Amino acid sequence: MPFVKRSFWIEKPVKAFVFIIRQFNYSQAEAQRLISKGRLLINDQSFFEKGGMIQGAVEVVLFEPQSREIKPIFTTKDFVLYDKPSGVLVHPNTMATEYSMLDEIRTHSGDQANATHRIDMETSGLLLASRHKKSEQYLKSSFEMKRIQKEYLAWVDGKIDFPFCVTESIKVRDNYDDSKHKVEIHKQGKSSKTEFTPLLYDEKLDVTLLQCKPLTGRTHQIRIHLFHVKHPILGDPLYGTDFATASAYLEGTLRDEERYIQTGATRLLLHAHRLQFPYRCRYDLFSKVDFVKMKSEICAKELRRFNV
């Protein structure tokens, strides 16, 4: 478990954020953020008053990374690049999260290092992490300003012969009573655009390998756009499954065998394959994973049960 409690005794009253700054050599913003997250404890209760006075016994919950030996595939003095496995979070969801890519990032590059963009837990592939605060600010801004181009690969159900583009607007759902989809196609949603190009078709499995280029950065954009055109990504437990299957997945009760049949694969077959961006020079970086071989994770056509 990367989150650990450390105990301290404070002799004289001091403001909470000042104690954190002095004890850990944090900036004021970092100290206040730690307190806001409830990681300063008094009598086992979170203390949220940043300017409040504290004295005596206190505990601080710290993130101490525990590596599982996932090494970066590319390193500079400013950033590192990882091939994230499917099923691994980028950041811990809670203090009970046992492992995330942040463990690897901080183990390799220190406490100031951080992931600079989101990848769904189920999605594999390229994860770009900064090694210091200046590069973090620049890279996060680059993603927001669309200066970084992303390219994905996906194995999808059915045959696709020609390139196509989906421009349907996407809206985050506010009710999950009749669907477990996190987002939906909706006229009142945010404008979205994804370009798709077929690369390979397997007739026996009736599946197509697609190159996917999201030109906007909406939540689950590639997943919902492909579901909308009735070519769901194989292994997707939310888009392309029935309500009961999606619920079981979210509740952690979906059996591996049932997922294999209901979603068409052992895992979500979406992979962040390529990143292009400027950082002093122009970088064009590729994943080292042979995603074509992920075809071995696909369920036979006659056994798959999609809900599209």
Q: Map out the domains of the chain as residue ranges.
A: 3-63, 74-144, 149-303
CA nearest neighbour of 257 among 218, 290, 303: 303
The rounded distance, in Å, linking the Cα atoms of 177 and 79 is 42
Six-digit token string for 256: 């591996």
State pTM to two decimals.
0.90
The one-letter code for the residue type at 296 is S
Average confidence (pLDDT) over 31-39: 93
Active-site pick, 44, 78, 83, 120: 120
**Which 3 state secondary structure label does DSSP give 7?**
strand
149-303 — its CATH code?
3.30.2350.10
pLDDT at 307: 67
pLDDT at 214: 96
- What fold, for 74-144? Alpha-Beta Plaits (3.30.70)
**Percent of the chain beyond pLDDT 70?**
99
Structure letter (DSSP) for residue 3: E
pLDDT at 308: 61
120 belongs to the catalytic site: yes
Helix or strand holding residue 156 (H, E):
strand 149-157
Q: 233 near 222, Cβ under 8 Å?
A: yes
For the cut 70, the answer to whether the pLDDT of residue 240 exceeds it is yes
Summary mean pLDDT of the chain: 94
For the cut 80, the answer to whether the pLDDT of residue 10 exceeds it is yes
Count of residues in the chain:
308
The rounded distance, in Å, linking the Cα atoms of 33 and 35 is 5
Q: Is 27 exposed, middle or buried, given 0-12, 13-18 or 19+ CB atoms closer than 10 A?
A: exposed
For the cut 80, the answer to whether the pLDDT of residue 227 exceeds it is yes
For the cut 90, the answer to whether the pLDDT of residue 103 exceeds it is yes
Indicate the class that CATH gives domain 3-63. alpha beta
For the cut 90, the answer to whether the pLDDT of residue 305 exceeds it is no
Six-digit token string for 300: 């036979």
**Which 3 state secondary structure label does DSSP give 63?**
strand
Q: Is 307 exposed, middle or buried, given 0-12, 13-18 or 19+ CB atoms closer than 10 A?
A: middle
Average confidence (pLDDT) over 106-130: 95
